[in-house]
Chain A
């Protein structure tokens, strides 16, 4: 699975959009971009994933560049509850046997009042 690079930390004002970048310059054509987050003292939580098209769900939007070498997770209206470590993970979608996740250091997002 391709390696990802994320800034170690970011701040965001409450109510503003939080834009979390991720570089994955060695991504292969069949690898997806996944985002998980981990709120303090909890297990990681799935947010969103995509292959090459932009994706949106009730939690966030995922913007993937045309060359797929980078992506941005957007939390449109950040709240204090969005304070967490956000992990960008790139991997092939496999059957259940083999779909483990390789976590990097992630980005620690601090949402401030």
Chain B
């Protein structure tokens, strides 16, 4: 059983460009959350998707947007990239609603570098 997968693993962009990151949740999981982790810091919650809708959002500007597809996979889009967007972007998935087990499963992340 594959865990959470993310693509690409590394990405280099320049300021002002747009980027799309992709995530496939663990089998049987229907909720996907995205986190940003700057170097030397803990992950910061960006937003969460469930039933193809954004359900919760952290303190991130509208330049950060997302999407969830019917197969539960998800995309994170960042527009007008800034140098400060350079970070490790983590995707986490959670089992189906109603499951008592509340663990989040994280993918390996996408390392984004903005030059």
Interface residues, chain A, with chain B CB atoms under 8 Å away: 32, 41-46, 49, 85, 87, 93-106
Q: Give residues 38-96 of B contacting A (CB, 8 Å).
A: 41-45, 48, 50, 55-56, 58, 90, 92, 94-96
B42 touches A100 (CB 8 A): no
Partner of A44 from the list B44, B96, B106 (CB cut-off 8 Å) is B106
Partner of B56 from the list A42, A85, A98 (CB cut-off 8 Å) is A98
Which residue, A32, A44, A100, has most C-beta atoms of chain B within 10 A? A100
User: A94 CA to B43 CA in the complex, in Å?
Assistant: 20
Instruction: List the B side residues contacting A101 at CB < 8 Å.
Output: 35, 43, 45, 92, 104
Q: Is the interface of A mostly helix, strand, loop or mixed?
A: loop
Kindly provide the distance from the CB of A82 to the nearest chain B CB, expressed in whole angstroms. Answer: 18
Instruction: List the A side residues contacting B48 at CB < 8 Å.
Output: 97-100
Could you list 18 examples of A-B contacts with CB < 8 Å? A41-B108, A46-B104, A49-B102, A49-B103, A85-B42, A87-B42, A96-B31, A96-B50, A97-B48, A97-B55, A98-B48, A99-B31, A100-B48, A100-B56, A101-B43, A103-B35, A103-B44, A105-B41
Instruction: List the B side residues contacting A94 at CB < 8 Å.
Output: 102
Nearest residue, chain B, Cβ from A32: B102
- Residue B21 CB within 8 A of the other chain: no
B56 touches A43 (CB 8 A): no
Instruction: List the A side residues contacting B105 at CB < 8 Å.
Output: 46
